[in-house]
A and B are shown apart, each in its own frame.
Chain A
Amino acid sequence: MTGRTNMFSTKKRPGVLVVRGALLITQILLPFGLYFALHWAHELAAGLISALFLLSMLFLVWLG
Chain B
Amino acid sequence: MMTLSISLWNWLLALTPVLVVLVMMLGFRASGSRAGGMGWLAAIIVSILVFGGNFDLLAVAQVKATLLSLDVFYIIWTALLLFHIADEAGAIRMIGRTLPKLTEDRVMQSLLIGWLMVTFIQGTGGFGVPVAVCAPILVAIGFTPIQAVAMASLGDTWAVTFGSLGTSFQTLMAVTGLPADALASYSAVLLGIASFPAGMLVAVIGNGWKSWKRAVPPILVLSLVMATAQYLLATNGMWTLGTTGAGIAGLVVGFLLLRLPHYRNHSKVLPDLAIAGAGQDSGKSLVVAVSGYALLVVLAFAVNLIGPVGKFMGQVRFTLNFPQVATRFGWVTPAGPGRVINVFGHPGAILLYASVLSYIIYRFTGYLQPGAMKRITNRVVRSGVNSSLGILAMVGLASIMLHSGMTFLLAEGLSTSIGRDFYPLVAPLIGALGAFITGSNTNSNVLFGVLQQNAAQLLNLSVPLILAAQTAGGSVGSVLAPAKVIVGCSTVGLAGEEGMVMRKIIGYGLIPIATVALAAWLIHLLR
Say yes or no: A64 contacts B392, CB within 8 Å. no
Size category of the B interface is: 35 or more
Say yes or no: B389 contacts A20, CB within 8 Å. yes
Least CB distance from B257 to A in Å reads 36
**Residue among A23, A27, A32 with max Cβ neighbours from chain B (10 Å):** A27
- Residues in A whose Cβ lies below 8 Å from that of B248: none
Say yes or no: B29 contacts A8, CB within 8 Å. yes
Is A21 positioned at the interface, with any CB of B under 8 Å from its CB?
yes
Once the chains are docked, how many angstroms separate the CA of A54 from the CA of B497?
A: 25
Once the chains are docked, how many angstroms separate the CA of A17 from the CA of B154?
A: 30
Say yes or no: B386 contacts A12, CB within 8 Å. yes
Is B381 positioned at the interface, with any CB of A under 8 Å from its CB?
yes
**Least CB separation from B496: chain A residue:** A10
- Residues in A whose Cβ lies below 8 Å from that of B358: none
Say yes or no: B385 contacts A24, CB within 8 Å. yes
Say yes or no: A38 contacts B385, CB within 8 Å. no
- With beta carbons under 8 angstroms apart, the residue of A24, A46, A50 that contacts B392 is A24
- Residues in A whose Cβ lies below 8 Å from that of B34: 8, 10, 60-61, 63-64
- With beta carbons under 8 angstroms apart, the residue of B40, B55, B381 that contacts A17 is B381
A/B pair count, beta carbons within 8 Å: 86
Say yes or no: A46 contacts B59, CB within 8 Å. yes
Once the chains are docked, how many angstroms separate the CA of A10 from the CA of B386?
A: 11
Once the chains are docked, how many angstroms separate the CA of A30 from the CA of B382?
A: 22
Is B66 positioned at the interface, with any CB of A under 8 Å from its CB?
yes
Given A61-B34, A64-B33, residue A27 in contact with residue B389 (CB < 8 A): yes
- Complex interface bits, B169-191 against A, C-beta within 8 A gives 1, otherwise 0: 00000000000000000000000
**Least CB separation from A38: chain B residue:** B59
Once the chains are docked, how many angstroms separate the CA of A20 from the CA of B497?
A: 16
Once the chains are docked, how many angstroms separate the CA of A8 from the CA of B20?
A: 14
Say yes or no: B28 contacts A24, CB within 8 Å. no
Once the chains are docked, how many angstroms separate the CA of A28 from the CA of B38?
A: 18
Is B112 positioned at the interface, with any CB of A under 8 Å from its CB?
no
Least CB distance from A63 to B in Å reads 8
Given A28-B392, A46-B59, residue A60 in contact with residue B33 (CB < 8 A): yes
Interface of A is mostly: helix
- Residues in B whose Cβ lies below 8 Å from that of A64: 30-31, 33-34, 496
Least CB distance from A17 to B in Å reads 6
Is A7 positioned at the interface, with any CB of B under 8 Å from its CB?
yes
- With beta carbons under 8 angstroms apart, the residue of B29, B30, B41, B497 that contacts A58 is B41
Which residues from 21 to 37 on chain A have a C-beta closer than 8 Å to any C-beta of chain B? 21, 23-24, 27-28, 31-32, 34-35
Is B56 positioned at the interface, with any CB of A under 8 Å from its CB?
yes
Say yes or no: B56 contacts A38, CB within 8 Å. yes
Given A10-B31, A10-B497, A58-B41, residue A34 in contact with residue B392 (CB < 8 A): no
Is B388 positioned at the interface, with any CB of A under 8 Å from its CB?
yes
Is A57 positioned at the interface, with any CB of B under 8 Å from its CB?
yes
**Least CB separation from B36: chain A residue:** A60
Given A10-B499, A17-B385, residue A57 in contact with residue B393 (CB < 8 A): yes
Say yes or no: B29 contacts A31, CB within 8 Å. no
Once the chains are docked, how many angstroms separate the CA of A28 from the CA of B339?
A: 15
Least CB distance from B402 to A in Å reads 16
Least CB distance from B187 to A in Å reads 35
Once the chains are docked, how many angstroms separate the CA of A1 from the CA of B145?
A: 12
Besides A24-B388, A50-B55, A60-B389, 17 new A-B residue pairs in contact (Cβ under 8 A), listed by A number: A8-B31, A10-B496, A10-B499, A11-B496, A17-B385, A20-B389, A24-B385, A24-B392, A31-B66, A46-B59, A53-B62, A54-B44, A57-B37, A57-B393, A61-B34, A61-B37, A63-B33
Q: List 5 A-B contacts (CB under 8 A).
A: A6-B29, A8-B34, A17-B382, A21-B381, A60-B37
Q: Which 8 A-B pairs have the closest CB atoms?
A: A10-B496, A10-B31, A61-B37, A31-B66, A8-B30, A64-B34, A60-B37, A8-B28
Residues of chain A whose beta carbon lies under 8 Å from any beta carbon of chain B: 1, 6-8, 10-12, 17, 20-21, 23-24, 27-28, 31-32, 34-35, 38, 46, 50, 53-54, 57-58, 60-61, 63-64
